[in-house]
Structure 1
């Protein structure tokens, strides 16, 4: 999804050269995207997020509501904190900058196809910095020593981009048990989202970018 024709055509041409990827549609805006998704049911949606935040978020919400299996990757011109936070909280699987390399976009698509999140390293650094600024007091009060070994393990997998179902499979535990561990560790650390958990894990050395 991109309102710039040349950008849209160039992106399609690039993706068609990648083995295992098939381009099923290219549209200019979120309204067309919703219609196109209904017709082609894509696995991955790469969308420009440089336009109005509200329309982009509405498109994400609509796609999530009607096609929950579709994975959304945001491709944007700048690492704007407001847009980044809005996109991540809306539940996108990938966040890539337009001045990143081709490798970054392909990595995001591959990760999303496996049900894993991908944030380009340049943006991931901003997530961590923002986390450190906003959560410093909580971090001092509720350190990693308050977590159980299992909660640390779950935290690392969340930070690596795995979803609850996949974590349950990896650890041979039930979905409900993983949800409980996730809820407990977020409560102990004063965190409210998977993005914040990932930032905490990176900031405290549990995950290396």
Structure 2
């Protein structure tokens, strides 16, 4: 019998990690050798365990999935990385692939899709969730990059860039205020200024803008 593929699960929600472990452990071809709840822990676990594949979320505390993917892929290019996330926006998909991910799967996928994605990535193929648009796939394969808006980016202050990055990483106003040692009202004011300067109207549009301009990877 061939040796099972070793997998590390990186997910900040414990109940989801346990569910994924339970599901994948039913397959004799998969061996769950470790877990991590944030990007920093993921890098440490990968160095320790040297798995065949890392199943990783994007939005996590301490270090997000994109930074973790970049670090892991840079240090261990042969290790496969499969993103499992709720983010459907093309900007997230492009950013993940650019960082070095071998596959991108949405969390509303079935177990059959998850197994198929893992098998494809382990076989050396790029797997993208059926929920990802054909337009994104074509753009990525042709080597195109999402549009940049450098002129509007240059208009932002350093503090506004910090806050924009944290919004894109999924942090709420109170968390941002605590991290930057400022008031929640100040964060709200910066958020309002960001929307006016960039002509954006909600957190999703701010997130897409941050990813398009590589702020989330800085």
How high is the TM-score relative to the length of structure 2? 0.57
Distance 1:84 1:51 in 2: 16
Match of 1:55 in 2: 64
Match of 1:36 in 2: 45
Match of 1:18 in 2: 27
Match of 1:86 in 2: 95
Distance 2:118 2:107 in 1: 14
Distance 1:21-1:124 versus aligned 2 partners, 3 A rule: farther
Q: SS where residue 77 of structure 2 aligns?
A: coil
Q: Note the residue ranges of structure 1 that are not aligned, 5 or more in a row.
A: 136-158, 160-190, 194-209
Distance 1:28 1:79 in 2: 21
**Preserved CA contact (<8 Å) 1:50 1:77:** no
Taking the TM superposition and a 5 Å limit, the aligned residue runs for 1:132-171 are none
- Confirm or deny that 1:192 pairs with 2:143: yes
Aligned length: 136
Match of 1:77 in 2: 86
Q: Summarize deviations over 1:133-159 as a string: whole Å, max 9, x none.
A: xx9xxxxxxxxxxxxxxxxxxxxxxx7
**Preserved CA contact (<8 Å) 2:120 2:127:** yes
Q: Which one is further off, 62-71 or 21-30? A: 62-71
Q: Note the residue ranges of structure 2 that are not aligned, 5 or more in a row.
A: 1-9, 145-218
Distance 1:42 1:123 in 2: 27
Q: SS where residue 73 of structure 2 aligns?
A: helix
* Structure 1 vs Structure 2 CA RMSD: 2.5
Match of 2:113 in 1: 104
TM-superposed CA distance for 1:24, in Å, is 0.6
TM-superposed CA distance for 1:121, in Å, is 1.3
**Preserved CA contact (<8 Å) 1:45 1:72:** yes
Distance 1:124 1:67 in 2: 29
Distance 1:126-1:25 versus aligned 2 partners, 3 A rule: farther
Match of 2:124 in 1: 115
**Preserved CA contact (<8 Å) 2:84 2:105:** yes
